[in-house]
Structure 1
Amino acid sequence: MTDHPVDLDKHRGMAAQKATDLRRALAEVETHARELRERESELEHRMMSAPAASWPEAAVKARHLLNLYAASLPAEDTRHRALVAKLLDDFTRLTEVDRGSS
Structure 2
Amino acid sequence: MTDKPIELDRHRGMQAQKATDLRRLLAEVEANEEALRVRQEELEAQLIAAPSVDWDEAAEKVRYVLRLYAATLTTEDTRGRALVAAVLADMERLTAKPSATSP
What is the aligned partner in structure 2 of residue 20 from structure 1?
A: 20
1:12 Cα deviation from its structure 2 partner:
0.9
What is the aligned partner in structure 2 of residue 84 from structure 1?
A: 84
1:48 Cα deviation from its structure 2 partner:
0.7
Structure 2 spans left out of the alignment, 5+ residues: none
Give the secondary-structure state (helix, strand or coil) at the position aligned to 1:100: coil
Number of residue-to-residue matches in the alignment? 100
Please, what TM-score do these two structures have when normalized by structure 2?
0.90
1:82 Cα deviation from its structure 2 partner:
1.0
Please, what TM-score do these two structures have when normalized by structure 1?
0.91
2:93, 2:26 → 1: CA distance? 39
Considering fraction of residues, name the structure with more helix.
1
Give the secondary-structure state (helix, strand or coil) at the position aligned to 1:51: coil
1:81, 1:61 → 2: CA distance? 18
Structure 1 spans left out of the alignment, 5+ residues: none
Higher relative contact order (CA 8 A, sep 6+): 2
1:93, 1:16 → 2: CA distance? 54
What is the aligned partner in structure 2 of residue 100 from structure 1?
A: 98
**Could you give the per-residue CA deviations for residues 54-94 of structure 1, whole angstroms, max 9, x where no partner exists?**
11100111111111111111221111011101111111121
Residues 52, 101 of structure 1: alpha-carbon distance in 2 compared, 3 angstrom cutoff: farther
1:2 Cα deviation from its structure 2 partner:
2.5
What is the aligned partner in structure 2 of residue 73 from structure 1?
A: 73
